[in-house]
Amino acid sequence: MHGESEYEFRELKDEVKVVVQKAVLKVMEGQKYDHITANDCIQNVLKVCVDELKRLSTNFKFIVTCHIQQRKGAALDSHSSSYWDEETDGSCVITWESSSLMAILYVYGLAL
């Protein structure tokens, strides 16, 4: 866990990416895309991510979104916009791919 003086997301960004990548790997490694279980998989990934991010820093509120799709060559365009304090808040995007699926996660960190 980081010190109480850290209130800038950019200082945590690299660690946030590692935490989320590990969480996705923990839940999704070896999984094949299945539209029936995709929602459960997303919920599991989000729970692990948020639990681990809370341990990383108590100085932020974290928002995590997850998109999972079957890898069939289809395109996906996604955008977001935020109104926040650019000095303390931030976001990052993490992608993870296997032979049958792709996951895209957006993480937003908002300083308390």
The DSSP result for 99-112, as a single string, is SSEEEEEEEEEEE-
pLDDT for 41-83, tens place per residue? Answer: 999 999 999 999 999 999 999 999 999 999 887 777 888 888 9
Would you state the pLDDT for residue 3? 53
Would you state the pLDDT for residue 39? 93
Binning pLDDT at 50, 70 and 90, where does residue 17 land? very high
CB 67 within 8 A of CB 75: no
| Domains of the chain by start residue, with CATH | 1-72+98-112 (3.30.1140.40)
Q: What is the reported pTM?
A: 0.88
Is pLDDT above 80 for 13?
Answer: yes
Dump strand ranges (E) for the chain: 60-70, 90-97, 101-111
